[in-house]
Amino acid sequence: MMETIERIKEQISENTVLLYMKGSPKLPSCGFSSQASQALISCGEQFAYVDILQNPDIRAELPKYADWPTFPQLWVEGEFIGGCDIIIEMFQQGELQTLIKEATAKNASEEKNAE
């Protein structure tokens, strides 16, 4: 169980934009995951995803770690942003695009500076 939490922390810290979802962005397995991944795709930046259906241990542990019971879950720069409703609301208000673009740009420049 501890290993699972470590893996979750690692995934969150290594990926600027990370969506925990059911299925994949191309083949989502639930309507909420589909809506959330479509909103992210529409932001036009790369994002990582974890299919929790393929990772039952993460599916079991992440809700406790995030203190959020459902999926999908969006994490940006190590911060939990929210689930489907929050993602869609932010997208409709233009906030998601700004958040994703700024986070991606910031981390891209950090990576370049490290060379």
Counted domains in the chain: 1
Specify if 88 maps to a domain: yes
pTM: 0.94
Which domain, by its residues, includes 89? 2-102
Residue 54 domain-assigned (yes or no): yes
Alpha carbon distance 21, 74 (integer Å): 9
109 falls within a domain: no
Low-confidence ranges of the chain (pLDDT < 70): 1, 111-115
DSSP symbols for 23-37: B-SSSBSSHHHHHHH
Q: 32 in a domain, yes or no?
A: yes
- The CATH number covering residue 85 comes to 3.40.30.10
